[in-house]
Amino acid sequence: MDLEWNYEISRVADFIRKHNFTRVALQFPDEVLKDSMMVVKALRRELKSGVKLYVMADTTYGSCCVDEVGAAHVNAQCVIHYGHTCLSPTSSLPALFIFGKASVSATNCARNLLHYGVESQKPVLVLFGLEYAHAIPEIKEIFACNIAKIRESTSMSEPLYADVSGSVMSPAEASTPANQLGLVDSHIVIESLAEGTNKRYKIGGLIWRLPEGHKVEDYLLFWIGLDNPAFVNVVLTFNSCEIGITKYIGDMKKNSFCVKRGNKRTKSVNDSKWKLYMELVVILQSANEIQKKVMNKNQFK
């Protein structure tokens, strides 16, 4: 594993130096906690002296959220959050999100994207797990080359690719827009902002704007990533859409399949299991928010 590339050591060090932070909490998900000491050593080499680094494991209730309560226990001035995140707003601390860089075959993704797009004959919206964001430029390039070869035989247009909404968050910038339509649940936020006839959507750290006159239900949603909570939220939120999936586990492309939802029976998806799972996620996330509020209140008594 390339530690510098995957954990963006130089970028994290630059962020800490730029803001003159001297007490920094590093929050790792359980699956990469084993790498935490190597990351700390690499950061110390970059930062030299004068900065104290504190390693935190994920919160009990939700690995996707910044653990501001834990960070407050060591008087941290910011949190570096590693791994999957829902990019929920922070209330008191700035945060830098390092999504990681999961292995992926851009060639396979581009080929599946073209296959589903041509087969569906719908416009395509590409969504992805944040750990695959690094591969999107290469996927775009390969797809453009592939579709150019069959341009005369297909009416498929260029896909619409979601963008990452950002990887740096400060409490001042995390306020809720006044015209936000609502929350899907406490794990993932989706907002639709009307500007003329255009709409902007945001879910799980991804953001996109549909062309004028288009509805998200008109699109084939193409997901690149795992069937983790982020994917479950996409499926349950956009349950009237047709969804094409390229699913990865580790370095291997496990399978690709198409899910048709709405009035048609869902293929390869256990709806009852996922709905139950998401209900539990909502309950646990709500409990986490309550715990944070109580501990913050007690802290300032």
pLDDT digits (tens, 9 = 90+) for 189-221: 444 444 445 678 888 889 999 988 888 888 989
Q: How many residues does the chain have?
A: 301
- pLDDT of res. 293: 60
Asked whether the predicted pLDDT for residue 181 surpasses 90, the reply is no
| pLDDT exceeds 90 at position 77 | yes
pLDDT of residue 184: 31
Say if strands 95-98 and 78-82 run parallel, antiparallel, or are unpaired.
parallel
pLDDT digits (tens, 9 = 90+) for 228-250: 778 888 887 887 777 766 655 43
Report the range of poorest mean pLDDT among 45-49, 57-61, 138-142, 270-274. Answer: 270-274
Is pLDDT of 267 > 60?
no
pLDDT > 90: percent of the chain: 38
Residue 291's pLDDT is 61
Average pLDDT, the chain: 78
Domains with residue ranges and CATH for the chain: 3-100 (3.40.50.11840), 106-269 (no CATH)
Instruction: Give, in order, the Cα–Cα distances in Å from 28 to each of 6, 36, 60, 79, 243.
Output: 13, 7, 12, 10, 31
Mean pLDDT of all residues in 56-81: 86
pLDDT at 235: 80
Residues 217 and 240 sit within 8 Å (Cβ to Cβ): yes
Confidence at 271, pLDDT banded by 50, 70, 90: low
Tokens at 102, concatenated: 């999961």
